[in-house]
Structure 1
Amino acid sequence: MGFHAYSSPYDWGRIAGYKATAKAVPGGMIDLSVGSPVDTVPASVQAALAGAADAPNAYGYPVTAGSADLKAAIDDWFREARGVDLKAINAGVVPTVGSKEAVALMASLLHLGAGDVVVQPRISYPTYEIGTQLAGATVLKVDDVADVDSWVNVPNVKAIWVNSPSNPTGDVISSDWLADIVAAARRIGAVVLSDECYALVSWQNNGAAAPCALGPQVCEGSADNILVLYSLSKQSNMAGYRTALIAGDYRLVAEMAEYRKQIGQIIPGPVQAAMAAGLRDTASVREQWNRYRNRLTQLVAALQAYGYEAHMPAGALYVWVKAKSGDCWEDMAQLAELGIIPSPGEFYGAPAFLRFSATATDEAIASACERLRN
């Protein structure tokens, strides 16, 4: 049947007019909309990429499931950074070509279709909805996926999207709430799809990683019916490398790996080496964490000075605020006159809000803060 049609307000072309206005402001536009990293790729990652440029995994076809070195790096990373022993919970892993394709293909790879229901947060990353629509399944948006009563008795629920820390709100779900979600999903035979791409970008508990759906307190010793997604795009500024992974239920991951092999969704060999280096370079990850904390702290203070009810998020890279006018597009127009472009909340299902990204240079953040205060 192929992909089904989809619809989404998530179209960056819709803010082109506001960008034109912002570019005409003295000093130019400061783009705080798209969450694309601007900082350098760690030297360790660059060296690994160059060193693998003529390795067998480069001139020969790369392994879909990842090289032995990458597998070892992923196992170590889960154990040390997330407190998860993948082997002990019978979890499989497959690398993905960035996290967005993993999200967009997830419902299709789970064989979901007409009559099947996929639950997601009402305010969320738009690709969850698009992926469900591509599969021909039904989207069910709820205010809070941790409120299991809002979905557990709905007929034909087959999957539940969780995003913690959240894009765009920055909210973090506790281990106890994650455990409730997993237990409820298992009772009805559904799969928990936990997008944890910002797990290490946490601003609580001195930067301790956000809880993992595969954590022992959550999964009760088994990866059954749980799939976790993670990406190196933000932690290591590797968005252009397209390095991400799916980990969890061994049966589901093994089947996905087979499909990925057939359609060629395989991370290039040299990039696999770079990914392994990025997972191991904890010092660079902490350095980037400090950069983002400083930028967010400055942004929050400046947005407060401008009149927004801004606060430091629990996690992720964004300041999520209610539009002063009550409408994101009206505030977009006002901010464009200052040369500042955030994301309209309508993209994420909340037209009365705005998202300001900290993925801009120190100089750009400082300039934006100055404009907001004046």
Structure 2
Amino acid sequence: MTVRDLADYPWDAVAPYAERARAHADGICDLSIGSPVDPTPEVVRRALAEATDAHAYPQTVGTPQLREAIAAWYARRRGVPGLEPRNVLPTIGSKELVALLPLLLGLGEGDIVVHPRAAYPTYEVGARVVGATPVASDEPDEWPEGAKLIWINSPGNPDGRVWSVDELRRAVERARELGAVIAGDECYAELGWDAPWDAQPVPSILDPRVIGDSRAGVLSVYSLSKQSNLAGYRAAFLAGCSRIVGDLLTARKHLGLMPPAPVQHAMAVALADDTHVAEQKERYRARREVLRPALEAAGFRIDRSEAGLYLWATEGRDAWESMGRLADLGILAGPGVFYGPFHPQHVRLSLTASDERIAAAASRLRAAAG
């Protein structure tokens, strides 16, 4: 496969709807992309500034300070004790890892990559780049022989689904039956809303209740883009099976995949500070409490969305019709068909707009509802 064989970038199809939304007298409310609008926390910006004398090449493996911070964060925030430096590895954001993992694992034609039915498109892209076959399935008992990599996304993008400990345990059991690597994309784990995730942590795939006493074949992926507003820093990491982490480290050294040294220092500081994470979560909670009832008043049903940055909404019509209706209100969403063929009547709306734009969108929705 060559780059030319990749499908067109899906968001290009949204351009006409963005143009319609921008024509609104009060301007566009862009709820289509989950890109943070709030400032990067001051404690993190100070840390970045402290490390700007970065004259030497950074370490692909990560600084000792960063690796210790990642391990401590998993123990403190995710209920995953006992990680050692050999179990963790920083990445240049999480998207590059999601896209490149099939390649770095040596997958190719004849191999199968399983991903969620409602899925971030990069899981499929990563499979197709190496000639593997992507299969969309949320049911472990249906995962086929020949699967070599299985992606779990909890909390999910776009639907906000959270996998329970029991569900994750069965997923890991099935992956081990198949001899497949299983990777949990957990980038929204700090953003639980509905019970029980409003009062207890979203489970990690590395939780001992899930994997028992062995991390073999299991990886967790996490990003600081959402919890810490570091999307522009490209700051993420993976953790888990030491054998796989070691193999990925070797490959990434050869490929020159290393986060810049100032970013590594900023990541370590961000991971040690829970205050800014709680503050940012409250911002998103407030926006969610404004937007969700307004969507419901306008005739949308919100499905799942128990965690994460999005509302997964439907009004029982074709997603592109909903996109048009919202665009006429000056609101830009993302069509559900971008996340697989199984949700042709859903749209995804992000909480990553300013308070003022969220309030404007809610006002327009309520006015349209009469």
Q: How would you bin the TM-score normalised by the shorter chain?
A: over 0.9
Distance in 1, matches of 2:140 and 2:16, equals: 41
Gaps of 5+ in 1: none
User: Offset of 1:310 from its aligned partner?
Assistant: 2.3
Distance in 1, matches of 2:22 and 2:293, equals: 24
1:241-266 CA-partner distances (Å, limit 9, x unpaired) = 00001111111111111111111110
Question: Secondary structure of 2:44's partner?
Answer: helix
Distance in 2, matches of 1:37 and 1:215, equals: 28
Report matched runs for 1:48-67 at 5 Å. 48-54=47-53, 58-67=54-63
CA root-mean-square deviation: 1.6
Asked if 1:341 corresponds to 2:336, the answer is no
1:251 corresponds in structure 2 to: 243
Question: Secondary structure of 2:225's partner?
Answer: coil
User: Offset of 1:199 from its aligned partner?
Assistant: 0.8
1:199 corresponds in structure 2 to: 189
Q: 1:211 to 1:6 in 2, by over 3 A?
A: farther
Q: 1:336 to 1:4 in 2, by over 3 A?
A: closer
Aligned residues: 363
User: Offset of 1:215 from its aligned partner?
Assistant: 0.4
Are the counterparts in 2 of residues 119 and 159 from structure 1 also a CA contact under 8 Å? yes
Match of 2:361 among 329, 351, 368: 368
Distance in 2, matches of 1:207 and 1:91, equals: 32
2:105 corresponds in structure 1 to: 110
Question: Secondary structure of 2:88's partner?
Answer: strand
User: Offset of 1:344 from its aligned partner?
Assistant: 0.7
1:289-325 CA-partner distances (Å, limit 9, x unpaired) = 111111112111000110111267211010001244x
User: Offset of 1:155 from its aligned partner?
Assistant: 2.5
2:275 corresponds in structure 1 to: 283
Distance in 1, matches of 2:125 and 2:70, equals: 28
Q: 1:86 to 1:8 in 2, by over 3 A?
A: farther
Write the letter of the residue equivalent to 2:51: A
Distance in 2, matches of 1:82 and 1:283, equals: 16
Report matched runs for 1:185-334 at 5 Å. 185-203=175-193, 204-205=195-196, 206-310=198-302, 313-324=305-316, 326-334=317-325
Distance in 1, matches of 2:284 and 2:303, equals: 15
Q: 1:44 to 1:100 in 2, by over 3 A?
A: same
Asked if 1:176 corresponds to 2:144, the answer is no
Match of 1:122 among 117, 133, 144: 117
2:72 corresponds in structure 1 to: 76
Question: Secondary structure of 1:37's partner?
Answer: coil
Gaps of 5+ in 2: none
User: Offset of 1:288 from its aligned partner?
Assistant: 0.5
User: Offset of 1:222 from its aligned partner?
Assistant: 1.3
Distance in 1, matches of 2:230 and 2:27, equals: 27
User: Offset of 1:10 from its aligned partner?
Assistant: 5.0
User: Offset of 1:22 from its aligned partner?
Assistant: 1.0
User: Offset of 1:207 from its aligned partner?
Assistant: 4.7
Write the letter of the residue equivalent to 2:184: S
Question: Secondary structure of 1:193's partner?
Answer: strand
Give the structure-2-normalised TM-score: 0.95
Are the counterparts in 2 of residues 10 and 126 from structure 1 also a CA contact under 8 Å? no
Match of 2:154 among 164, 176, 192: 164
Distance in 2, matches of 1:289 and 1:99, equals: 20
1:222-276 CA-partner distances (Å, limit 9, x unpaired) = 1101011000000000000000011111111111111111111100000001111
Match of 1:353 among 327, 346, 363: 346
User: Offset of 1:201 from its aligned partner?
Assistant: 1.0
Are the counterparts in 1 of residues 299 and 315 from structure 2 also a CA contact under 8 Å? no
User: Offset of 1:6 from its aligned partner?
Assistant: 5.0
User: Offset of 1:169 from its aligned partner?
Assistant: 0.4
Give the structure-1-normalised TM-score: 0.94
Q: Larger deviation: 174-183 or 311-320?
A: 311-320
Are the counterparts in 2 of residues 9 and 347 from structure 1 also a CA contact under 8 Å? no
Q: 1:103 to 1:64 in 2, by over 3 A?
A: same
Q: Larger deviation: 79-88 or 158-167?
A: 79-88
User: Offset of 1:4 from its aligned partner?
Assistant: 6.7
Are the counterparts in 2 of residues 300 and 312 from structure 1 also a CA contact under 8 Å? no
Distance in 1, matches of 2:127 and 2:4, equals: 10
% identical aligned pairs: 46
Asked if 1:12 corresponds to 2:11, the answer is yes
Question: Secondary structure of 2:226's partner?
Answer: coil
1:124-156 CA-partner distances (Å, limit 9, x unpaired) = 1000000010111111112x2xx22111xx221
Q: Larger deviation: 224-233 or 344-353?
A: 344-353
